[in-house]
Amino acid sequence: MKGLLVFAALLAAAFSRETFVGNQVLRIFVADEASVEKVKELEELPELQLDFWRGPGGQDIPIDVRVPFASLQAVKIFLESNCIRYSILIDDLQSLVDEEQTQMIRQHFMPRSVETFNYASYHTLDEIYDFMDLLVAANPNLVSKIQIGNSYEGRPIYVLKFSTGGTKRPAIWLDTGIHSREWITQASGVWFAKKIVDSYGKDPSLTSILDNLDIFLEIVTNPDGFAFTHTTNRMWRKTRSVNAGSACIGVDPNRNWDAGFGGAGASSNPCSETYRGPYANSEREVKAIVDFVKSHGNIKAFISIHSYTQLLLYPYGYTRTQAADYQELDNIAKAAVAALSSLYGTQYRYGSIITTIYQASGGTIDWTYNQGIKYSFTFELRDTGRYGFLLPANQIIPTAEETWLALMTVMEYTRDHPY
């Protein structure tokens, strides 16, 4: 009966959600700083309802933007009149959304165990939370579920703890899904959880890691936003908190941390996709992690996983000042990217946030690094824009597999280089 109810809910959601018929994703090529500034002018025009998937950064870094059908002509004329070149990455976004929904409905069934769970499909919040319970039930001596807080709308925020014993041992933190529309990250997080339990006692390296450190994994870091992407708006990025004095909802939870908060690379406009929030740690989803990290006091690596663009990044994003451990972090990133590409040949770039993509203030790993967590990294998973946030489900397992190799590189280094 529960399976039928969930299936009915999926069908209902498919017919009640926001549509993107005729929306295109444009890739804009900016050759100089003047072109970057011109594109920023578009960003400041709310009537166009543009959704920057990869926002303006430095010159020579392409900008990806979703343009509603009603704004297409105006945007294209603006770009052409300013001699700014662009191409069409996605011709009709709704067609990709429809394909994704069809796949989810076709593949949907209620698993009774972690062995029958479909790791090659996207899942709802309830399904992922059910998976966590199944995983804990099947591996009670290795996995436990911790509630670290509640979201703005009252949903529990869960973290899986993988441990072989002890309290507040040195630990590694992994999170996925802080930006809710980045579905490949939550799907990869589910796969990572199963990989950890499957590998312990079989893979000597992972076994050694867990014999010496705990692993915390937060699969759905932004539960309200994630639920909203399934019921109403697949492209929702932010939290779902109400902003006083504004009709616009939500805060960018990766601009809400107390690290250069309010500086360049975040918006003060509540309607912006990069709205920083009224003050640092205003979002319950962010505050829950902040409180946990401070209370734990012994986290040695912090890895936050996003999509897309195929990048491995380290601090800083809010300042051009190099991190004190810049060279060590760069060496780790280089090794991790090499491990990742060894499986399927997927190419990643790596470097500090501000030099590799753009300036961004109030970011997660800048805060964790400033808290003394030396091994702080952010991944941007597949792809480079062909599908963007709508990566086909048949790429979930390959993405997770290759990313796991990079994660193992970072975790092994953390184990072997204590501080």
CA dist 302 to 136, 341, 364, Å?
23, 22, 9
Q: Which residue intervals of 241-296 are DSSP H helices?
A: 284-296
Let me know the angle formed at the C-alpha of 305 by 232 and 270, rounded to the nearest 5 degrees: 50
**CA gap 296, 411 in Å, rounded:** 18
- Measure the CA–CA gap between 260 and 367, rounded to whole angstroms: 9
Q: How far apart are CA 29 and CA 47, in angstroms?
A: 23
Residue 215 β-bridge partners: 162, 172
For residue 387, how far is the Cα from the chain centroid?
A: 15
Catalytic, 380? Answer yes
Beta carbons within 8 Å of 137's beta carbon, 6+ residues apart: none
Distance CA 183, CA 179 (A): 9
Among residues 380, 401, 402, 412, the one annotated as catalytic is: 380
Residue in the structure block whose two tokens are 């986290």: 299
Which pairs count as long-range contacts for 119-123, CB under 8 Å and 24+ apart, including other chains? 119/187, 119/190, 119/191, 119/194, 119/396, 119/397, 119/400, 120/393, 120/394, 120/396, 120/397, 121/187, 121/393, 121/396, 122/183, 122/187, 122/393, 122/396, 123/186, 123/187, 123/190
HSE-up of residue 48 (Cα within 13 Å, Cβ side): 21
CA distance 91 to 148: 41
Find all residues with CB under 8 Å of 254, minimum gap 6, and list them.
178, 179, 304, 306, 360, 362, 363, 364
Task: Return the active site residues.
Answer: 380
